[in-house]
Chain A
Amino acid sequence: MPLPLLLSLSMILLAIGLYAILASRRASCSRQIYGISLVICVILLGMALTHLLNAAAPVTLTLPLGLPWLGAHFRLDALSAFFLIVVNLGGAVASLFALGYGQHEPAPGRVLPFYPAFLADMNLVLLADDAFTFLFAWEFMSLSSWALVMAHHREPANARAGYLYLVMACLGTLALLLAFGLLAGANGGYDFATIRTVEMTPGLAALALILALIGTGSKAGLVPLHVWLPLAHPAAPSHVSALMSGVMTKVAVYGFIRIVFDLLGEPVAWWWGGLVLALGGITAVLGVLYALMQHDLKRLLAYHTVENIGIIFIGLGLALAFQSNQMYASAALALTAALFHVLNHSLFKSLLFMGTGAVLTATGERDMERLGGLIHPMPWTALAFLIGAAAISALPPLNGFVSEWLTFQAILLTPELPQWLLKFLAPAAGALLALSAALAAACFVKAFGITFLGRPRSPAAAKAQETDRYSLAALFSLAALCLLAGILPGLVVDGLSPAVGLLNGGAQLPAQQSQPWLTLVPVADVKSSYNGLLVLLFMALSGIFAAVSIHRFASNSVRRSPAWDCGFPNASPAAQYTAGSFAQPIRRVFGSVVFQAREHVTMPPPGDGRAAQFAVQLRDPVWDCGYAPLTAAIIKISTKLNYLQYLTIRQYLSLVFGALVLLLLGIALWR
C-alpha cells in the first residue's frame, strides 16, 4: 500500500516544520531539517518511480477528514506519480544543496518551518482526489511559499513581491474554486471520480477551461498572469527559488493537466487547443525577451521560467488540438513532449538557481554587472552552471534539446489538422518556439559569459571562493541527470507513457526500448529519429580530434601579450563587455517595439569634468496595457465609493432596507 505511506511521509514533513518552529534557534537545526527533508524526498521519489515504472494501477484512499460529507480523497495514478517524481527529485536536490547553503541563512527561523511544509503541500496537491483537498493543499502551498518569499521581508522590494504574489495567488485560487464549482455540476459531487462522470454543456466546459487557465496559469506564470513570478521567485532564498521555479510551477502545470485533460474529459472544441497554443507561444517569446533585458541573475532565471512554461503549454495546446480531432497518436507525441519538458525544466532550472545561489553566497551579488571572472575561483560551480545553461538553451546532447525537438516533431504533424486556423497557428507557434530557443541561447551566453568569464567587475567578485561540497554534490547530481536524460531519452519517454496513456484515452508513443542503439523514434523511422548517444559520441570524438590536431600541429611556444590591448593598455575591468552591452543588439531589434526601449546618452560638453552617462529605459507592455489600467480603474471606483464609509446609521439602515426590498421585488417580478 504505497498511498498511506506517501501521505504519512508528507505528514512527517509537516511535523518537522512544526519542530523547526521550536528548534530553529539551535545551530544544528538547519542540518537536521534539511537532512530529514532529503531522506523523505528520496523515499517519496523511490516510491513514485516504482509506481510509474511498474505502470501500476491507480490506488485510492478516503480519509474521514475535511468536509464531513465529502471526506478527503487521495489517489496515486501514473500522472501524479510522474509529477511526484518531479517534485521530490527537485525537493531532494534542493535539500541536499541547502545542507550547505542553509548555513549562510541570516534568518533560519523564517525559512526552516516553512520549507518542509512547502514540500509536503506540493506532494498533497499531487495526491488530492477531490476538489476540497486539492484546493486546501494548493492554498497551503501558496501560503507556505509566500512565507518563504517573505523570509527577508525587511527589503522593500521583497515586501512588494510578497504582496503581489499573495494577490495573484488569491486570484488564481478564486478562479480554480469557480472552475471546480462548474466541474462539480448541479449535484455538487466534489470528488474527482464523480467529476469525471459529469456531462457538461460546451459553453460551461469552455468557461471551466478558461477558469482553469487563469487559476493554474497565474501560478505557473503564463503571460499575462506572470507579473508576480519574476519578483517573487528571486526574493526567496536560492534553494527555495529553485523549488518555486523548478517545481512549484510544475505543480501548477499538473493542476492544468489534471483539470483539462482528466476531469473535463475529451476537449469539445478545436479552439481550446488554439487558445492554449497561442498563449504558450506568446509566453515563450515574451518570457525570453524579458529575460534578455535583465541583469539580475535570479530575475533572469525567473523570466526563463516564464519562457519554459510557455514551451510546456505549446505542447499541451497541441495535444488538445489533436485530441479534439481524434488524432490520438499525434496527441501522445505532443503530451510526451510537454511532460518531458516538465521534467527537464525542473532539472536545469533547479540547477541554475542553485548555481546562482552558490555565486550569491560567494560574492553577495546577484547583479551580473558586478560579477565576472568567477570561473577561476569557482571552477566546479562554473562547469555545472555551464551544463545547465547549455541544457536550457536546448543544445544537444543535453535534455532540453530532446523535449524541444519532440515539440517540433509534434508541430510538424499539425498540417494533418483539418481546421485552417490551427494549420496556420501551429507553425506560427513553432516559429515563436524557434525564436525563443535562439534567444534563450543568446541569453545564456550572456548569463554565463558575463558572470563567469572575463575579469571581476567588483572586489566581491574578485574575492569569491568555491562553494561547499553539499552544494557541489547537488549541482553535479542535477547536471548528471540533465546529461543522462539527454542521451537516454528513450528511457524517459517509455517511463512517461503510462501517464500519457492515462490522459490520452490509452494511446501512447510506441515503446522506445525496442529501438536499436537507444534511438528515439517518435513517429516513424523514415520521418525522424534522434540519438543522443551518437551526438555525444560525435562531439567527443570531434573534440578530441580537434584538440589532438591543435596540439599536434600548432606551435607549442607560449606567447605573451598585453590583454585587451586594442588601444587601451591597462584597461580596467569596466572596459569589458557588460550584460547591458551584450544584450544591446537584441534590445534594439525587439526591445524598441516590445518594451519601447529608449537609450539616453548624456554627454557633458567639452571642458565639463563630469562622466558621460548612458541610461536605458524599458517599459513593461503587460503592466502598461493590462495591470496599470486595471489598478487605476479599481482605485477610481473605490475613491468614488469611499463616501459609503461615512454615512449615518439611518442611511446605512436605509441601504440595507432598500437592497432587501429590491431583491424581494426582483424575486416577485421574475417568477
Chain B
Amino acid sequence: MHSLEFDIAHFLAGSMVVISLLLLYQDRLYALLKVFALHSLALTLAVGWQAYIQEAHHLYVTAGIALIFKAIVIPAALYRIVRRLGIHRTLEVVGGVGRDMLAGAALVALAILVMLPVTAGTDAVAREDLAFALAVVLLGLLLMVNRHNAVSLVIGFMSLENGLVLAAAGARGMPLAVEISVAFSVLIALIVIGIFLFRIRERFDSVDMQAMDAFRGERRR
C-alpha cells in the first residue's frame, strides 16, 4: 500500500531517526534539550498519524502524553534544572563527532538489516516503524554511552524511550494501559534523576560522570 498515508508515516518515523542523529552531535546543553523537544514532537506527530490511519483512538491519548510530557514538561524541567544548578553548558563528546556519526549510521543500517527480514510478511507500516524504532533505541543507547554529562545521559534515556513508544504505536493492538504505565514510569524516572542531579551537584560541584568516578569508595585493585 504505497499510498500517501504510508508515505507520511514513513516520513514521520524517519524524521525521528534523523533527529536522533542530530542529538548525537549537539555540544551545548540547551541545544540538546531543544532537539530533544523536537524529537518528542516528531514522536507526537508519528503516533498521532498512526492513530489516524489505524483508527485506534487510544493512540491519540499516547500522542497527547508524548506532547505534554516529553515535548513540553520534561525539556522545560531539565531546562530549569540546568539553569538553577548553573551546570557547565558545553558538552564534551567522548569520541569525536565524526566517529559518532559514523557509528550512528552503522547502527541505523544494522537496525534495518535486522528488522526487515524478521518482520517479512507483516504490515509494511509496522515493518518500517519497527526498524526505525530499533534505530532510535540504538542511537539513544549510543548517546548514553558516549557522554560524560549526566544530563545528556538523561536525554539519551528519554530518546531511547521515545523509540520504544514508536515501536509500540506501530504494532497494532498494544493496550493503552501499557503505554500509560510506560509514560508514567518515564516521569518517575525524571523525578528520580532530577533529585539525583541536585544531590550529585551538591556533593561534587559537578555533574560530570568522570568527576563522580573519582569519588567512588570501592575501587578495584
| Chain A residue nearest to B213 in the complex (CB) | A648
| Structural contact, A661 and B113, CB atoms closer than 8 A | no
| Structural contact, B220 and A642, CB atoms closer than 8 A | yes
B 104-138 binary contact with A (CB < 8 Å = 1; else 0):
00010011011001100000000000000010001
| Structural contact, A657 and B220, CB atoms closer than 8 A | no
| Chain B residue nearest to A669 in the complex (CB) | B113
Quick one: which of A646, A650, A660 contacts B218, CB cutoff 8 A?
A646
| Structural contact, A667 and B114, CB atoms closer than 8 A | yes
Cα-based distance from A88 to B205 in the complex (angstroms): 71
* Chain B residues positioned under 8 Å from A643 (CB to CB): 220
| Structural contact, B144 and A653, CB atoms closer than 8 A | yes
| Structural contact, B141 and A653, CB atoms closer than 8 A | yes
| Structural contact, B138 and A660, CB atoms closer than 8 A | yes
CB of A664 closer than 8 Å to a CB of B: yes
CB of B180 closer than 8 Å to a CB of A: no
| Structural contact, B145 and A654, CB atoms closer than 8 A | yes
CB of B148 closer than 8 Å to a CB of A: yes
B 165-176 binary contact with A (CB < 8 Å = 1; else 0):
000000000000
| Chain B residue nearest to A656 in the complex (CB) | B141
Quick one: which of A645, A649, A654, A661 contacts B138, CB cutoff 8 A?
A661
CB of A1 closer than 8 Å to a CB of B: no
Cα-based distance from A54 to B148 in the complex (angstroms): 78
| Structural contact, B138 and A650, CB atoms closer than 8 A | no
The answer to whether residues A668 and B110 also contact, given A643-B220, A650-B209 and a CB cut-off of 8 A, is yes
* Chain A residues positioned under 8 Å from B2 (CB to CB): none
* Chain B residues positioned under 8 Å from A648 (CB to CB): 209, 213, 216
CB of A600 closer than 8 Å to a CB of B: no
| Structural contact, B111 and A671, CB atoms closer than 8 A | no
| Structural contact, B141 and A660, CB atoms closer than 8 A | yes
| Structural contact, B110 and A661, CB atoms closer than 8 A | yes
Quick one: which of A646, A653, A656 contacts B220, CB cutoff 8 A?
A646
- Kindly provide the distance from the CB of A390 to the nearest chain B CB, expressed in whole angstroms: 63
Q: Which of B194-221 contact A (CB under 8 A)?
A: 209, 213, 216, 218-220
Q: Which of A609-667 contact B (CB under 8 A)?
A: 642-643, 645-646, 648-650, 653-654, 656-657, 660-661, 664-665, 667
| Chain B residue nearest to A671 in the complex (CB) | B117
Cα-based distance from A653 to B148 in the complex (angstroms): 12
CB of B16 closer than 8 Å to a CB of A: no
Cα-based distance from A120 to B138 in the complex (angstroms): 52
> What number of B residues sit within 8 Å (CB to CB) of A?
21
| Structural contact, B209 and A649, CB atoms closer than 8 A | yes
* Chain B residues positioned under 8 Å from A650 (CB to CB): 145, 148, 209
* Chain A residues positioned under 8 Å from B110 (CB to CB): 661, 664-665, 668
The answer to whether residues A664 and B141 also contact, given A642-B220, A646-B218 and a CB cut-off of 8 A, is no
| Chain B residue nearest to A666 in the complex (CB) | B114
- Kindly provide the distance from the CB of A530 to the nearest chain B CB, expressed in whole angstroms: 68
Cα-based distance from A657 to B137 in the complex (angstroms): 10
CB of B37 closer than 8 Å to a CB of A: no
- Kindly provide the distance from the CB of B119 to the nearest chain A CB, expressed in whole angstroms: 12
Q: Which of A303-344 contact B (CB under 8 A)?
A: none
Quick one: which of A642, A653, A668, A671 contacts B145, CB cutoff 8 A?
A653
* Chain B residues positioned under 8 Å from A667 (CB to CB): 114, 118
Quick one: which of A649, A657, A668 contacts B141, CB cutoff 8 A?
A657
* Chain A residues positioned under 8 Å from B216 (CB to CB): 646, 648
CB of B12 closer than 8 Å to a CB of A: no
CB of B142 closer than 8 Å to a CB of A: yes
| Structural contact, B145 and A661, CB atoms closer than 8 A | no
Cα-based distance from A148 to B168 in the complex (angstroms): 50
With most chain B CB atoms within 10 A of its CB, the pick from A653, A656, A660, A665 is A653
Cα-based distance from A654 to B114 in the complex (angstroms): 20
* Chain B residues positioned under 8 Å from A665 (CB to CB): 110
* Chain A residues positioned under 8 Å from B107 (CB to CB): 661
- Kindly provide the distance from the CB of A661 to the nearest chain B CB, expressed in whole angstroms: 7
| Structural contact, A668 and B113, CB atoms closer than 8 A | yes
* Chain B residues positioned under 8 Å from A649 (CB to CB): 153, 209
Cα-based distance from A645 to B219 in the complex (angstroms): 10
| Chain B residue nearest to A642 in the complex (CB) | B220
| Chain A residue nearest to B140 in the complex (CB) | A657
| Structural contact, A664 and B114, CB atoms closer than 8 A | yes
- Kindly provide the distance from the CB of B122 to the nearest chain A CB, expressed in whole angstroms: 16
| Structural contact, A657 and B145, CB atoms closer than 8 A | yes
Cα-based distance from A653 to B218 in the complex (angstroms): 19
* Chain A residues positioned under 8 Å from B142 (CB to CB): 657
Cα-based distance from A648 to B220 in the complex (angstroms): 11
* Chain A residues positioned under 8 Å from B153 (CB to CB): 649
| Chain A residue nearest to B113 in the complex (CB) | A668
Cα-based distance from A653 to B157 in the complex (angstroms): 11
- Kindly provide the distance from the CB of A560 to the nearest chain B CB, expressed in whole angstroms: 78
- Kindly provide the distance from the CB of A654 to the nearest chain B CB, expressed in whole angstroms: 5
* Chain A residues positioned under 8 Å from B111 (CB to CB): 664
* Chain B residues positioned under 8 Å from A664 (CB to CB): 110-111, 114, 134, 138
| Chain B residue nearest to A667 in the complex (CB) | B114
Cα-based distance from A664 to B131 in the complex (angstroms): 12
- Kindly provide the distance from the CB of B192 to the nearest chain A CB, expressed in whole angstroms: 14
* Chain A residues positioned under 8 Å from B113 (CB to CB): 668
- Kindly provide the distance from the CB of B168 to the nearest chain A CB, expressed in whole angstroms: 18
Quick one: which of B114, B144, B148, B220 contacts A668, CB cutoff 8 A?
B114
A 36-74 binary contact with B (CB < 8 Å = 1; else 0):
000000000000000000000000000000000000000
* Chain A residues positioned under 8 Å from B219 (CB to CB): 646
A 425-466 binary contact with B (CB < 8 Å = 1; else 0):
000000000000000000000000000000000000000000
Cα-based distance from A646 to B220 in the complex (angstroms): 6
| Chain B residue nearest to A652 in the complex (CB) | B145
* Chain A residues positioned under 8 Å from B141 (CB to CB): 653, 656-657, 660
- Kindly provide the distance from the CB of A522 to the nearest chain B CB, expressed in whole angstroms: 61
* Chain B residues positioned under 8 Å from A646 (CB to CB): 216, 218-220
Cα-based distance from A664 to B135 in the complex (angstroms): 11
Cα-based distance from A654 to B145 in the complex (angstroms): 6
| Chain A residue nearest to B142 in the complex (CB) | A657
Q: A660-B138, A668-B110 are in contact. List 13 more A-B contacts (CB 8 A).
A: A642-B220, A646-B216, A646-B218, A649-B209, A650-B148, A657-B141, A657-B142, A660-B141, A664-B138, A668-B113, A668-B114, A668-B117, A671-B118
Top-3 shortest CB links A-B: A646-B220, A668-B113, A643-B220
Could you list 30 A-B pairs, sorted by A, with CB under 8 Å?
Answer: A642-B220, A643-B220, A645-B220, A646-B216, A646-B219, A646-B220, A648-B209, A648-B213, A649-B153, A649-B209, A650-B145, A650-B148, A650-B209, A653-B144, A653-B145, A654-B145, A656-B141, A657-B141, A657-B144, A657-B145, A660-B141, A661-B107, A661-B138, A664-B114, A664-B134, A665-B110, A667-B118, A668-B113, A668-B117, A671-B118
Instruction: State the B residues within 8 Å of A (CB).
Output: 107, 110-111, 113-114, 117-118, 134, 138, 141-142, 144-145, 148, 153, 209, 213, 216, 218-220
